[in-house]
Structure 1
Amino acid sequence: MAATNCNGSPDYCQLPFDRYTFAGTHNSAAYRLRPDCTLATGKCSKAIGTCIEAGSKCTQPWRERCRTSSENCKNKIPPWLGRWTHICKVPLQACAGSMPIICENAPQWFTRCLWENQPGKDIGQQLIDGIRSLDMDTCVTHDQRAVTCHGQGATRALGDELDVHLRQLADFLGTHRDQVVTIEYMDTDGDAGIIARALVAAVERHLGGRLWEQQSANAPWPTLGQMIDAGKQVVVFAGSIYEALPAATRPRWLHRRDDHYRNTWDYTRSGHTPDEIARLMLSYQPTGPDADHWQCVDFEYSPDGKTLLDQMRHGTVPSVCLERLASDMNRRVPEIVEHYARRFRQIHRVRLDYYDNAKTLLFDAVTMMNARNFRLFALKKHANTLSRRATSRCNGDAALCDRPLNRITFAGTHNSAAYHLAPECSRQIATCDRVMQRTAQQCTSSLPDALSFLSVFCTAWQQVCTATERVCRGWQQVCTRTIDVCARGLSWMCDAAPDWLKDCVWQNQAGHDITQQLNDGIRALDVDVCMDRNEQVVVCHGMGELRALGDTLEHVLGQIRSHLETVPDTVITIEFGDVDGDGRSMAIKLRDIVQAQLGRYLVERPKGDSAAVWPTLGQLIDKQQRVVVFGSGWTERLAEEERPAWLLSRGDYFVGSWSYTHQQPTTDGAATVLHEHANATHADDNRMPCIDME
């Protein structure tokens, strides 16, 4: 019987696994943990031997030296050297003797502060509460057992045997056959091979018949309904555990995480406060393969070690404990999840620490995401069941299907990618550096050299020269320090630029990314691109030292591709007008990125000069060639044989209003020029006119 309810809704039965967003917990098995006393005690014991060895090395050279000079000299060995070994050993012996007592009697607040991300909530309870994405850390104990844990080395805490959480999951699925769950085994401490072999045996022992086997990373995923119908309700991902198993013995149900999605931790690990983590999440810009992977919204923390130790040294409960960090961070769930929903097509999960304190926020966010996922998927599925022309609609209007593309007026935006921009500081700072170096060179060379010529004739001039050189060097210091303040000040101002300044100077479409613009009906996009200091092609606004940078071009084009996939009766034009970067290199990179992201949708330029050679919108939609790309002067940097047929030179096809309005300093002046140009006759110009309110 086909599944009628999947993870709480009949709608979700139609969603493929990779289009569903899971509610998850971070370090799901981090409860009832115990500090690993064995490892910590061993560290102390090992250090005692190090002390004895160090003491011997310290005193031996003195003894050898004494033997060669005098037998009596042995008594001259500094007394403190003889006491070194004793001084070193005593505290370490105390450490080795007391560490087991301290570990076994660690107060509850101590273990909760450092290790327990989900205190009081075992796996069975988390599943009952609605958690469907589990995250497990695993460790090897001193007697070579694999257990759940949190932490590494002497600062880790150990949990249950692997059988415990797997048995709880199996029991849950036995009574909830309409649920799909995913497990991630990532962080390990100890021999990953030992953990991998123990994990494979334990998983197959408890979940053997319920494990989904994906054929390959590129194969389409089944729907949740199909997985439930097949009784394969568990998907397992891993990192080092996957790599530790030989390919010949690796089970097909174990999937390599990096083939499918990226953890948030990869780019937020440097943040130690809620504000820092939120900033890193909101500014995340995936590049390369990351842009095509599923994304995760993981609220995870790395407490600042120095702050933690200082507060514990004074006997106070640290302010950077997991619960306090989680409380401050989890209240930002709605804002950050909404941000990710606007920017990324596939959100694999949203997971929290201390989920029990923010269940409403978590499940509301996941419900919102899956409602969005269902709308997008249903729209795409509906469109794919229809023939491309059965709807007789092109760009939303049936009357447009028979019109040539050059007889269509497109609604467009100027500087379409000018949102989420940040001023680029590096060029301004480099300018300050160049001025500083030039001033230093002029100050230390030109003037002293001129005066040194005079000193040949008169020693008195030597004194003048010396005094002048001192003045010059003093000026150099004042100048270089002033310019250094310039560089530092610019860096601070760029990083802290307020939103009103960005909106005022650079952000033409603030708050509306490409996806939102396309959903609103925009069909003509204008994208400025720059080469950043890492030689990546990014969207931007401005040139030279007055530019602000945004997302990578791959990310922006990925949003366009996603829209084309879900709305199959739309034709879009993209103009790459202003380009700031290394001429030929920039042109080649820009060409290759567009080809890689939009290749199958690109419209090749019409042959001949007649306007009639343009295809109709209907013809373009039939062939699924639905993106027309125009370039400005940068296209000339490509040799004729390097220029693809889809790359159209803007000047050959249309005239932008900017060419005759850019000298007008006021909006009234620009409007007057637009009216005059519209009323004039242009019989000798067959190019398409534009009305650009820029």
Structure 2
Amino acid sequence: MLCNGRADLCDLRYNQVTYPGTHNSASYSLKYDCELSTQTCLETKTVCQAQAQNCTMGWETRCSKMSNTCLDRLPDWMHWLCGAFTSTCEATEQFCLGWEDICTSSLEVCTLWGSACLGVIPDWAITCLWENQPDHTITQQLAAGIRFLDLGTCLTNNNTQAVMCHGNGITRAIGVPLDDVLTQIATFYNANPNEVITVEFNEYDGDVNLISQTIVQKVLQYFTLPSGQLMMYPRTSTTQTWPTLRQMITANQRLMIFMGDTYYPIPDPKPTWANQKDMWKQDGFAYTNQDSQPVQLNQSYYDWCNQGPPTDGSFIKWQQIDINMAILEDDIVASVKKGQVPELCIGPLAIQTNSAMLDALGSYCYTRWPYWFRVRVNDYWEGDVFKVANQFNDLNVARVKAGDPITPF
């Protein structure tokens, strides 16, 4: 019997195996969220109404408020209007209501932006700034051997649809619907009965209560058998021993679900298949989140690995190598102002780190902590994520055979 492609992994517990993974796994086929940015712009209409109310509150303060607000609200080429407002400061309340009309009409630029938005965003911006797995669907990733998927979820269409996304608020890009991703996972799952898959619902943007409800509903919809059996592996307590891959495969409960902050809003009693990720796993991003360049990431990992686990007997979380790179903000701003592509984009940064540096990190870090749960990268096809995960699993197998439990439970 092969378990995740290897016979020697079958009798290792789920938490004794190292999984190759992708960061922002569904960050492909993205587009800038023009709908949200337009909506955010239009919502400032309420600011205009508040300004009109302030206008009527007192003659003495009205002039300066109107003049300052006018300069702040209108583009430079319309500042001539501000002088006219100031010179008629002694006007009646009708003038204040007139200001509301002028202020609101200036928001027509929001509507114009909405219609031109996608055409304004340069072609390079999406692949350079947002897409972590460009042109590689979930189906392709699973077929290649990725066994850990990281899904960021947003709400669109007035909170009625869950989609994949990268970023937050008006800086986010959105992709395929959650239904599309879960369909791809379910199709692979059913066609490959000896494969164990891990899905983490971590980052989100929108109403966390609605997103959590949607995730639970969709997981149950796509991964419940006609008999009513769940395809997700359930754990009834935090002290329950994690199953072996063989047990998960034999039970046909080969899907392990982890959730970040989306876990807490789930009503009690929470599903036994939903695991809170921070209880078990130490994200590499927790101590590398300030790193933007390969040399910084490299140093942060070496420092962390040198530190080693605590010696006070406290629970040691599963360690994770997360090669998640960022682009320097100053480089982005300067480049966009000039209409140029930044000197470094996500893809080239991934290529710099996924091979030689990943190999070096693996060789150095593995022996300094009890257990490494995953190796996760951007642009997974560029580099050695599968090589490093297999090397880790060779060591995992040897240690378990020698009687080392590696992790509790």
Q: How many residues align?
A: 369
2:390 corresponds to 1:375:
no
CA spacing shift, 1:90–1:315, aligned 2, 3 Å? farther
- Aligned match of 1:120: 135
Q: In the alignment, which of 369, 381, 384 is matched to residue 344 of structure 1? A: 369
Q: Match of 2:365, as an amino acid?
A: Y
Q: Structure 1, residues 435-494: CA drift from partner, whole Å, max 9, x if none?
A: xxxxxxxxxxxxxxxxxxxxxxxxxxxxxxxxxxxxxxxxxxxxxxxxxxxxxxxxxxxx
- Aligned match of 2:215: 199
Conserved 8 A contact 2:21-2:146: yes
Conserved 8 A contact 2:55-2:62: no
Q: Match of 2:30, as an amino acid?
A: L
Conserved 8 A contact 1:44-1:93: no
Q: Distance in 2 between matches of 1:65 and 1:322?
A: 50
Deviation of 1:291 after TM superposition, in Å, equals: 5.9
CA spacing shift, 1:203–1:105, aligned 2, 3 Å? farther
Q: In the alignment, which of 345, 349, 356 is matched to residue 325 of structure 1? A: 349
CA spacing shift, 1:7–1:302, aligned 2, 3 Å? same
- Aligned match of 1:161: 177
CA spacing shift, 1:19–1:86, aligned 2, 3 Å? same
CA spacing shift, 1:307–1:107, aligned 2, 3 Å? closer
Query: Which one has more relative contact order, counting CA pairs under 8 Å at least 6 apart?
Result: 2
Deviation of 1:171 after TM superposition, in Å, equals: 1.0
Q: Distance in 2 between matches of 1:340 and 1:370?
A: 14
Conserved 8 A contact 2:56-2:62: no
- Secondary structure of the equivalent of 2:25? coil
- Aligned match of 1:356: 381
Q: In the alignment, which of 14, 19, 24 is matched to residue 22 of structure 1? A: 19
Deviation of 1:123 after TM superposition, in Å, equals: 0.6
- Secondary structure of the equivalent of 2:28? coil
Indicate the structure (1 or 2) with the bigger Cα radius of gyration. 1
Conserved 8 A contact 1:33-1:157: yes
Q: Match of 1:151, as an amino acid?
A: G
Q: Distance in 1 between matches of 2:12 and 2:29?
A: 36
CA spacing shift, 1:204–1:318, aligned 2, 3 Å? same
Q: Match of 1:367, as an amino acid?
A: N
Q: Match of 1:143, as an amino acid?
A: N
- Aligned match of 1:39: 36
Q: Map of 1:219-258 to 2, 5 A cutoff?
A: 219-248=240-269, 250-258=270-278
Q: Distance in 2 between matches of 1:213 and 1:5?
A: 22
2:351 corresponds to 1:310:
no
Q: Distance in 2 between matches of 1:81 and 1:130?
A: 66
Q: Match of 2:369, as an amino acid?
A: F
Q: Distance in 1 between matches of 2:321 and 2:340?
A: 32
Deviation of 1:178 after TM superposition, in Å, equals: 1.0
Q: In the alignment, which of 306, 316, 337 is matched to residue 292 of structure 1? A: 316
Conserved 8 A contact 1:55-1:81: no
Q: Match of 1:380, as an amino acid?
A: G
Deviation of 1:318 after TM superposition, in Å, equals: 1.3
Q: Structure 2: where are the runs of 5+ without partners? A: 64-80, 88-98, 225-229
Deviation of 1:59 after TM superposition, in Å, equals: 9.9
- Secondary structure of the equivalent of 1:185? strand
Conserved 8 A contact 1:146-1:194: no
- Secondary structure of the equivalent of 1:211? coil
Q: Distance in 1 between matches of 2:26 and 2:174?
A: 10
- Secondary structure of the equivalent of 2:324? coil
Q: Distance in 1 between matches of 2:313 and 2:83?
A: 64
- Secondary structure of the equivalent of 2:382? helix
Deviation of 1:290 after TM superposition, in Å, equals: 7.9
Q: Structure 1, residues 122-143: CA drift from partner, whole Å, max 9, x if none?
A: 1111000000000001112142
Task: State the identity as a percent.
Answer: 31
Q: Match of 1:341, as an amino acid?
A: Y
- Aligned match of 2:95: none
Conserved 8 A contact 1:29-1:149: yes
- Aligned match of 2:227: none
Deviation of 1:230 after TM superposition, in Å, equals: 1.4
CA spacing shift, 1:314–1:80, aligned 2, 3 Å? farther
- Aligned match of 1:445: none
Structure with the higher fraction of residues in helix conformation: 1
Q: Distance in 2 between matches of 1:289 and 1:151?
A: 38
Conserved 8 A contact 1:264-1:297: yes
Q: Distance in 2 between matches of 1:319 and 1:91?
A: 36
Deviation of 1:103 after TM superposition, in Å, equals: 2.8
Q: Distance in 2 between matches of 1:376 and 1:64?
A: 76
Conserved 8 A contact 2:22-2:377: yes
Q: Distance in 2 between matches of 1:290 and 1:109?
A: 47
Deviation of 1:89 after TM superposition, in Å, equals: 7.1
- Aligned match of 1:610: none
CA spacing shift, 1:345–1:299, aligned 2, 3 Å? same
Q: Match of 2:321, as an amino acid?
A: V
Q: Distance in 2 between matches of 1:117 and 1:90?
A: 40
Q: Distance in 2 between matches of 1:290 and 1:167?
A: 40
- Secondary structure of the equivalent of 1:241? coil
Conserved 8 A contact 1:17-1:222: yes
2:83 corresponds to 1:79:
yes
Q: Distance in 2 between matches of 1:194 and 1:52?
A: 30
Q: Distance in 1 between matches of 2:400 and 2:50?
A: 68
Task: State the Cα RMSD in Å.
Answer: 3.0
Deviation of 1:258 after TM superposition, in Å, equals: 1.5
Q: Distance in 2 between matches of 1:289 and 1:91?
A: 63
Question: Does 365-374 or 287-296 show the bigger shift?
Answer: 287-296
- Secondary structure of the equivalent of 2:402? helix
- Aligned match of 2:281: 261
Deviation of 1:105 after TM superposition, in Å, equals: 6.1
Deviation of 1:315 after TM superposition, in Å, equals: 0.8
Q: Structure 1, residues 567-614: CA drift from partner, whole Å, max 9, x if none?
A: xxxxxxxxxxxxxxxxxxxxxxxxxxxxxxxxxxxxxxxxxxxxxxxx
- Secondary structure of the equivalent of 2:44? helix
Question: Does 369-378 or 78-87 show the bigger shift?
Answer: 78-87
TM-score, normalised to structure 2's length? 0.82
Q: Match of 1:147, as an amino acid?
A: V
Q: Distance in 1 between matches of 2:200 and 2:150?
A: 5
Q: Structure 1, residues 412-446: CA drift from partner, whole Å, max 9, x if none?
A: xxxxxxxxxxxxxxxxxxxxxxxxxxxxxxxxxxx
Deviation of 1:78 after TM superposition, in Å, equals: 8.0
Deviation of 1:225 after TM superposition, in Å, equals: 1.4
Q: Map of 1:475-486 to 2, 5 A cutoff?
A: none
Deviation of 1:218 after TM superposition, in Å, equals: 2.5
CA spacing shift, 1:289–1:55, aligned 2, 3 Å? farther
CA spacing shift, 1:296–1:322, aligned 2, 3 Å? same
Q: Distance in 1 between matches of 2:86 and 2:299?
A: 55
- Secondary structure of the equivalent of 1:292? coil
Deviation of 1:326 after TM superposition, in Å, equals: 1.4
Deviation of 1:319 after TM superposition, in Å, equals: 2.4
Q: Structure 1, residues 364-403: CA drift from partner, whole Å, max 9, x if none?
A: 101100000000011117xx9xxxxxxxxxxxxxxxxxxx
